[in-house]
Amino acid sequence: MKTPFRLDEHPRRPQPLAPPPDQYFHQLPLRVMQRVQAPEPTPGFSWLSALPAPLRMALATSVVLGAFVGSFWLSESALAPAATAPDTLAAVPRHEMVEYLLASEQRLSLTDLAELPAVERILPETYLQASPDEVQEVLDAQPTEDTYL
């Protein structure tokens, strides 16, 4: 069972020392809202948030694509044109090539040399002063094997 609550049994609290200032409770909500209100956005990119979503997506896509193309365009100009294999081999002195090939037999064998593709060389016409009949005679003199026929 509950005990009855009697107001007379509880003493009243004393009044505050001073009453609140005039219009305090009318101004209190406005003060609280001013403190809680978010700060205004910076004007740097505020125009971006005003754009519609599809336009923002198109702008972002074009910026990323432009950066991608720009990076390839700038890196392409920094690269030197690649030299071809015959030009690179022609730049190496012959005595260095011979020293490299003869330095160690373990490094390079005849089978390794046989497997390398031959470099196509364009022979000048001044070296080829043979008539068609002479060329045919030389070809006929070559031994042929039956396996290739």
Contact 41, 49 (CB under 8 A): yes
> Given pLDDT bands bounded at 50, 70 and 90, which one contains residue 115?
low
Q: Sign of the CA dihedral 61, 67, 71, 73?
A: positive
Q: What percent of the chain has pLDDT over 70?
A: 72
Output the DSSP codes for the chain: -PPPP-GGGSPPPPPPSSPPPTTHHHHHHHHHHHHHSPPPPPSSSHHHHHS-HHHHHHHHHHHHHHHHHHHHHHHHHHSPPPPPHHHHHHHS-HHHHHHHHHS-TTT--HHHHHHSPPPP----TTT----HHHHHHHHHHS---GGG-
What is the per-residue pLDDT across 4-40, written as a single tens digit (0 to 9) for each? 888 888 888 887 778 888 999 999 998 888 888 766 7
How confident is the model over 79-94, as pLDDT tens digits?
Answer: 566 677 778 888 888 8
